[in-house]
Amino acid sequence: MSNGFPKGFLWGAATAGHQVEGGNTNSDLWLLEHVAGSIFSEPSGEACDHYHRYADDIEMLAGFGMNTFRTSVEWARIEPEEGRFDAEAIAHYRDVLETCHRYGIAPMVTYHHFTSPLWVLADGGWDNPRTADRFARYCERVTRDLGDLFDLACTLNEPNLPFLLGALGLGAQTAEDRRHMPMFVNAGADLGVDAATVAPFMFTGTQEGYDVKLAAHRLGRDAITSVRPEIAVGWTLANSDIQGGPGGEEFAVNLRASVNERFLEVSREDDFVGIQTYGRHVFDAEGQLVKAAPGVPVNQMGDEIYPVGLGSTIREAARVARVPVYVTENGLATTDDTQRVTFLEDSVEVVAGCIADGVDVRGYIVWTLLDNFEWIFGFEPKFGLVAVDRATQERTPKPSAYRLGELARSYS
């Protein structure tokens, strides 16, 4: 122990396969990025070509003084057709994980980070209860082939995100919503299915969607631990600091219950919970989102920069989930890296405050290593500790990368 931080505290950066690897052609989102009427501002294309450049990227991360890398394995690569597991993809991920160990980096592996194989989408996606069993079979296989190389596993990334987006009036959450959106209509036509059944993970915010994700998490976790009981398993959640403005208090209480607490309660069965916080959402008496006040510093999406929100979400997670907490994502979209440096300093102080109060926080993992493909927003938002030249793929570390390393050293 030093500065109150527990020994073995994890410091690192997170990535997700589809956002950095490039060429994830068998995935559901690849199709949605390319159909007419796509709500994705641009396709992921070769992204950061991390699929080929991972060794340099991991070496760079270690060079900053990090000791962990949260990475994801792509279901669409590992099981491109139902029941056919791809030896080359598995060998690839073995190499990624072995590279981590070569550089003294402990990998934390996410089994599902928003993307699924196209064949899953063609058969009802995340509204189809069979997806949970299929996910569990994939978890079992991944753990059998790769599980000797990591000790921390995240089943699903942000199963609660569609519910948060729904409250914000964003995205299409129901089958009926999808029927009216050209992207889903065209994807459905391509797959030969009704648009209503085109249900990707990010766009399923109904009770059915909740049930399928919950079943997938539980079955996935049991599959992982049946192969390798020593692996600590949890899911990672989108934890906004949900607040009520004047008159909006009750709305906020209810929303916290359905978006945050309901999922954190599930984590009581798990070994840990991963929390992912990007700030706060304040709601007024009508349940409408209150925009950042004029003059308040905002991120690239126009949302208030609010590092203290992390303190509330860490405490909420610890209180409700009653298991160890890892901050598995926290970061800032900005083209001004001095803002990110301050944000990281403030956030680490917030984590230190929680630890000083006795909260069991075991890691601080920043979103994200590289400027990457930010889903519907394309490559515009810059969350990275490292800039990536889109034409040459050249990496340029930003001062915030080194600052995070210094912070890690000063608390270790």
Catalytic positions, please? 158
Q: Which residue is nearest to ligand BGC (CB)?
A: 16
The answer to the question of residue 157 lying near ligand BGC (CB under 6 A) is yes
The answer to the question of residue 329 lying near ligand BGC (CB under 6 A) is yes
The answer to the question of residue 116 lying near ligand BGC (CB under 6 A) is no
The answer to the question of residue 317 lying near ligand BGC (CB under 6 A) is no
Residues 6+ apart with CB under 8 A from 116: 27, 28, 75, 76, 125, 126, 131, 200, 201
Q: Which residues pair with 2 in a beta bridge?
A: 5
**β 395-397/386-388 pair status:** antiparallel
Residues 6+ apart with CB under 8 A from 258: 163
The answer to the question of residue 155 lying near ligand BGC (CB under 6 A) is no
Task: Determine which residue in the list 10, 13, 16, 153 makes contact with ligand BGC, applying CB under 6 A.
Answer: 16
Phi/psi for 304 (5° steps) reads: -55, 140
Closest contact distance (angstroms) between CB of 32 and ligand BGC is 15
Cα→Cα distances 172→168, 198, 207, 385, Å = 11, 11, 14, 31
Tell me which stretch binds ligand BGC (CB under 6 A): 43-51, 141-149, 154-162, 186-194.
Answer: 154-162
DSSP one-letter string for 159-225: TTHHHHHHHTT-S--SHHHHHT-HHHHHHHHHHTS-GGG---GGG--SHHHHHHHHHHHHHHHHHHH
Closest contact distance (angstroms) between CB of 151 and ligand BGC is 21
The answer to the question of residue 15 lying near ligand BGC (CB under 6 A) is no
CA atoms of 115 and 40, how far apart (whole Å): 14
Tell me which stretch binds ligand BGC (CB under 6 A): 32-40, 157-165, 336-344, 391-399.
Answer: 157-165
Q: Are the C-beta atoms of residues 89 and 167 closer than 8 Å to each other?
A: no
The answer to the question of residue 57 lying near ligand BGC (CB under 6 A) is no
Task: Determine which residue in the list 203, 235, 367, 379 makes contact with ligand BGC, applying CB under 6 A.
Answer: 367
Q: Are the C-beta atoms of residues 182 and 39 closer than 8 Å to each other?
A: no
- Of the pair 128, 276, the CB lying nearest ligand BGC is at 276
The answer to the question of residue 374 lying near ligand BGC (CB under 6 A) is yes
Q: Long-range pairs for 289-298 at CB < 8 Å and ≥24 separation?
A: 289/168, 290/245, 290/248, 297/339
- Of the pair 157, 186, the CB lying nearest ligand BGC is at 157
- Of the pair 76, 355, the CB lying nearest ligand BGC is at 76
Per-residue binding letters, 265-294, with ligand BGC (x by CB under 6 A): -----------x------------------
Per-residue binding letters, 217-256, with ligand BGC (x by CB under 6 A): ---------------------x------------------
Q: Are the C-beta atoms of residues 16 and 375 closer than 8 Å to each other?
A: no
Closest contact distance (angstroms) between CB of 382 and ligand BGC is 11
Place of tokens 């059998």: 144
Q: Is there a cis peptide before residue 155, judged by omega within 30 degrees of 0?
A: no
The answer to the question of residue 24 lying near ligand BGC (CB under 6 A) is no
- Of the pair 197, 277, the CB lying nearest ligand BGC is at 277
Phi/psi for 6 (5° steps) reads: -65, 150
The answer to the question of residue 158 lying near ligand BGC (CB under 6 A) is yes
Closest contact distance (angstroms) between CB of 247 and ligand BGC is 29
Tell me which stretch binds ligand BGC (CB under 6 A): 22-30, 123-131, 156-164, 197-205.
Answer: 156-164
Tell me which stretch binds ligand BGC (CB under 6 A): 115-123, 129-137, 144-152, 153-161.
Answer: 153-161
Place of tokens 């930003």: 398
Chain residues that interact with ligand BGC, rule: CB under 6 A = 16, 19, 157-158, 161, 238, 276, 329, 367, 374, 383
